[in-house]
Amino acid sequence: MAFSTITDLDVVATQQHSRELRSRLLATGSSTYVTGPSGAGNGERVLVLGGTGYIGRALVPELARRGYRPVVLARSVQAKNEAEYADAEVIVGDPTLAADVLAAVAAAPTDVVISLLSGRRPNDAEECRLVDHEAVGNGIRAAVAHDVRQFIQVSDFGAYRPELIPQVYKLQVEGELMGQHHGALPWTIVRPTAYFPYLSATFGDVKNGLPYRIFDHGEHSVVNPIAREDLAEFIVNQVLNDDALGRVLPVGGPWTEDNMVTLKGAGQMMFDVTGREPQWDVVTLKAWDKKTARLARLGRFSTQLKPVAFYLEAAKYWSVVDHVAPSYGERTLRGFMERLKDREFPTGSFRERMKSGTNAMPTDI
Ligand SMILES: NC(=O)c1ccc[n+]([C@@H]2O[C@H](COP(=O)([O-])OP(=O)(O)OC[C@H]3O[C@@H](n4cnc5c(N)ncnc54)[C@H](OP(=O)(O)O)[C@@H]3O)[C@@H](O)[C@H]2O)c1
């Protein structure tokens, strides 16, 4: 095989790296964490910030099941009627407002604060600053002021290689906790890999007969995503656990064939689960880089194009950076896709729906 450029060599090398890494991980298994609930509460008050999102909807019921008294600071009163919060206290307030967070912590003696906060528009730098940094900071400052016994920050495995805006703020928050910038506060940082909906974002497209997009060979990186139920159990295991204090805990899902995937592997899983012949939409990274650079240039003058350039960069980041962490839990990506198999998905590709704002990620399971 002849290589015309260094890039061609790199492309081949990443495929080989991913295949070797995946084989090695599948052969060794992961023994860092013991799967299973450990530790139970005795009515301790645990305030969850960002508890109305994807992970929060699994974490809050898990806290209640395990004997804690969960409290959710929700932006909408609607949360009071939602099944996930049946055993939780819901306080209506805005985590970006320091006074609201302080009042939620001060309402009763609070033992633990957990933050799952993250801006819902990761391409909006100001929103990321406001939520991923300022709102989390409100939680840290309130926890310090009220002698909270532990602050658990749910960060991101991407903080090991921060390139996207939210990751940079996650890293900043981690540094502030470690450096005790806001005062003395015992902390635990959890860095999860990807969640299942992210790797299933185009499941509906595949089910509806569209091809699956890959960069080059689709094997630039490897990931072991984690189920939200498993992550919730893992987080609760750390609550008031002395061994978790002052520790950064990277975590992903099982190191098994059904969960340790390249992005092409995730696509292949979709074809397997839906019973379709694989159909790939191959884009070269070289072409993608050119398109991203062009859009980034235009984005300097257009507020509409700037976020698009961000999404192109993010798509590349998630395709080329390994997200492999010690494993916890037994739920697999294939199991998640099996649960998606029988549902109807809106027509039109994921990209078209993103553009029209009707993008529907499967976040209810
Ligand atoms: N997605 C992944 O694959 C992945 C991987 C690793 C780590 N993480 C991190 O894991 C954590 C939990 O993720 P998730 O999927 O559960 O997040 P999510 O579903 O996006 O939930 C985000 C939470 O933050 C709140 N929030 C967002 N924007 C806000 C604003 N402007 N003002 C006030 N509150 C706001 C949301 O409240 P509303 O419900 O009111 O909007 C929600 O409670 C996040 O920190 C995320 O970055 C994600």
How does pLDDT run across 51-99, given as a tens digit for each residue? Answer: 999 999 999 999 999 999 999 999 999 999 999 999 999 999 999 999 9
- CB proximity list for 9: less than 8 A, separation 6 or greater: 3
Whether 301 maps to a domain, the answer reads: no
Kindly state whether residue 190 falls inside one of the protein's structural domains.
Answer: yes
**Which pTM was predicted?**
0.96
User: Which residues, including other chains, have CB under 8 Å from residue 238's CB and lie 6 or more apart?
Assistant: 152, 188, 190, 244, 249
In a domain, 234, yes or no: yes
Dist. CA 241–CA 41, nearest whole Å: 11
CA 182 to CA 176: how far, in whole Å?
7
The amino acid at 278? P
Write out the residue range of the structural domain in which residue 169 sits.
45-197+223-251
pLDDT band for 222, please (50, 70, 90 cuts): very high
Report DSSP letters for 145-205, one per residue: HTT-SEEEEE--GGGGS--SHHHHHHHHHHHHHHTTTTS---EEEEEE--BHHHHTTTHHH
Whole-angstrom Cα distance, residue 121 to residue 90?
Answer: 24
Structure-token pair, residue 72: 């959710």
- Which residue owns the Cα nearest ligand 1 atom 38? 52
Domain CATH number, residue 149? 3.40.50.720
Tell me whether residue 244 is in a domain: yes
Separation of CA 55 and ligand 1 centre (Å) = 8
Which pair of tokens denotes residue 136? 């989390």
Ligand 1 pocket test target in 72, 115, 116, 229 with most atoms within 8 Å of CB: 116
Asked whether residue 155 is domain-assigned, the answer is yes
For residue 88, tell me if it sits in a domain. Answer: yes
**Domain membership flag for residue 36:** no
- Residue 333 clears pLDDT 90, i.e. is over it: yes
Q: How many separate domains does the chain show?
A: 1
For residue 92, being part of any structural domain is answered with yes
**Is pLDDT above 80 for 343?**
yes
